[in-house]
A and B are shown apart, each in its own frame.
Chain A
Amino acid sequence: MTLTFAILAVLTIAGAAAALTLRNLVHCVLALTLSFLGLAGFYLQLSAQFIGFAQVLVYVGAVAILVVFAVLLTRGAEPTSQSIFSQSWFWSGVVSVTVFGVLAWTIRSSTVARRELRLQPEATVKQIGDALMSRYALPLEVIGLLLTVALIGAVTIAMREKQEMR
């Protein structure tokens, strides 16, 4: 395990943990951005450059901004007097720890995980573009349709109804 891996792991996990435990929602989103950046670093380390930069563009750029806007529009930044966790937080925590325990135990005892690193794979943007335009052309069209539907749906849902405007 290299030093880079350790730094990225700490950045990602600490960012995620801070995003879900901090009280101020704007601080939560900032910590979330840090976690997404750590993940982008992991992708770059795994020589998936395109995915790494897509992660920065989509998550650090778009999704984080979207969440900040949602926080501000719902006045989530104002401090609340009550607890930020639900009443069943203890059992929820037990469930999460159990899930991690089972996953970690499975990973440690699996033989698949003992694979050694192969040669450096080539995943250039040109190759990804070729694959998207030939073998994965239909999924690409479906994703385009899905994004259009999601865009229209999001605008329609969030649009103020006419009765409310009066």
Chain B
Amino acid sequence: MSSLTSYLLISALLFAVGLAGAITRRNAILVLVGIELMLNAANLNFIAFWRYGPNPDALTGTMFVIFSIAVAAAEAAVGLALIISIYRHYKTTNLDQIDSMRG
């Protein structure tokens, strides 16, 4: 088993854990955490492929991850602001109880 395979397997496992969290948890904050974990798994893939790729001096994988981290940070900020706003409306973050668009 080469080292790239093990990195990809770790990344796939992290993605599956994040996916399981995002679709099973009731709390909206932890759904967002699951999405963040999936994004991080993708970042690990980028870096592993960059490191084992044919042309690592091109820095493409590194650049992708830098931009991906920035987008993920923006997503986390807006997502948590939305959750706080929804909490103010419904007094809950339980996703099973937030089921209507009108407040």
Enumerate A1-43 residues with CB–CB distance to B below 8 Å. Answer: 1, 5, 9, 12-13, 16-17, 19-20, 25, 28-29, 32, 35-36, 39, 42-43
Within 8 A of B (CB), among A83-137: 83-89, 92-93, 95-97, 99-100, 103-104, 107-108, 112-118, 121-123, 127-128, 131-132, 136
B69 pairs with A58, CB closer than 8 A: yes
Bound Cα distance from A69 to B13, whole angstroms: 28
Interface bits B19-35 vs A (CB < 8 Å: 1, else 0): 11101111101101110
Contact A58 B73 (CB under 8 A): yes
Q: Is the interface of A mostly helix, strand, loop or mixed?
A: helix
Assembled-state Cα–Cα distance A132/B65 (Å): 13
B76: min CB distance to chain A, Å: 5
The size of the chain A interface, using a CB distance under 8 A, is: 85
With A86-B95, A113-B2 already in contact, 7 other A-B pairs whose C-beta atoms are closer than 8 Å: A20-B21, A86-B24, A86-B25, A88-B24, A114-B4, A118-B52, A160-B88
Closest 5 CB pairs of A and B: A20-B21, A121-B56, A150-B74, A100-B16, A96-B20
Which residues of A are in contact with B by a Cβ distance under 8 Å?
A: 1, 5, 9, 12-13, 16-17, 19-20, 25, 28-29, 32, 35-36, 39, 42-43, 46-48, 50-51, 54-55, 58-59, 62-63, 66-67, 69-71, 73-74, 76, 82-89, 92-93, 95-97, 99-100, 103-104, 107-108, 112-118, 121-123, 127-128, 131-132, 136, 139, 143, 146-147, 149-151, 153-155, 157-158, 160, 164
